[in-house]
Amino acid sequence: MPAVSGLRTRIGGDGPVVAESDAMGWRLIVRGHVDSSGVDRDDLHQALRDLALRDRDLAHDAFGVVCNCAAAWEDEYTEEHGMDALTLDDWMERIKYGGVTWVNDAGELETSV
């Protein structure tokens, strides 16, 4: 989710989980209130994953948002393989056990613990 001068990006519409970014950084809005904010987009991706792990009711919404955040491994993987390639249950399992996940040169997911 790159910040571009004068451009504001909003992912999640008016849903319960929304990611906003602008030239100043990003904000994660949960049920209409700022849950967290920062500058590094990787921190936004991690905040969405943490939200999903701590609030199962919001996990599906957090999953939908992170799958549309540029530079998130979830976005990169589903762009290459389609939205059905990564299910909510598979995602929850992967983030539950931690480690770092990335998309390798062959387009497959890899994780290091």
**For the chain, which residues make up each domain, given as ranges?**
9-112
In sequence order, which residues have a C-beta less than 8 Å from that of residue 78 and are 6 or more positions away? 67, 85, 86
pLDDT tens digits for range 68-94: 999 999 999 999 999 999 999 999 999
What's residue 113's pLDDT?
Answer: 75
Nearest of 1, 108, 92 to residue 50 by alpha carbon: 92
Q: What six digits make up the tokens of 44?
A: 């936004």
Quick: pLDDT tens for 14-60.
999 999 999 999 999 999 999 999 999 999 999 999 999 999 999 99
User: What pTM, to 2 d.p., does this model score?
Assistant: 0.90
Cα angle at 89 between 85 and 11, to 5 degrees? Answer: 70
**Quick check: 111 pLDDT over 70?**
yes
Closest residue by Cα to residue 59 from 91, 32, 103: 91
